[in-house]
Amino acid sequence: MLYKILADMIVIIHFVWILFMLLGFVLSLWGFFWKNFFDWWLFRTLHICGIAYVALLASLRQYCPLTIFENTLRARYNPELIYPGSFMVHYIEKLVYPDVKPLVLLIPTTFIAVFTVFVFIIKPPTKIRRIFR
């Protein structure tokens, strides 16, 4: 039972990670087109590192470590599960693991990564800008 609970927790963490990546992109768009740019240097630095990592995994057609860990935990619990996880986790999994061709995810992920790097270079956080002066 512990493996099932841990696998469900990994799905939720994965979903939060995806929301973090999307939120960072939305905030980058907002900051690029409007003057009042959010200057949370730690958030922006974590986001740019995270989105670069996600884009690298996608371009190399590698699975996310969270996916691998979740699948390992599920296999240890019961490899023959038809409806893995709880009701909520079942639907979150549909958002985390959509049934689409990899190219459908690779193109927007690469665009988000390139745009985020562009905005980070054009409008770096104040704390980072001070370091490179």
Sequence spans of domains, the chain: 2-131
Q: Rounded to an integer, what distance in angstroms lies between the CA atom of residue 19 and that of residue 42?
A: 17
Supply 68's token pair. 């691998």
pLDDT bracket for residue 88 (50, 70, 90): low
Q: Express as a percent the part of the chain with pLDDT over 70.
A: 86
Other C-beta atoms lying within 10 Å of the C-beta of residue 40? 14
Residue 34: which pLDDT band, with cuts at 50, 70 and 90? confident
Distance CA 107, CA 21 (A): 15
Question: pTM for the whole thing?
Answer: 0.73
| 108 pLDDT more than 50 | yes
Is the model's pLDDT at 23 over the cut of 50?
yes
- Please report the pLDDT score of residue 21 as a whole number: 92
Phi, psi of 118 (to 5 degrees): -60, -50
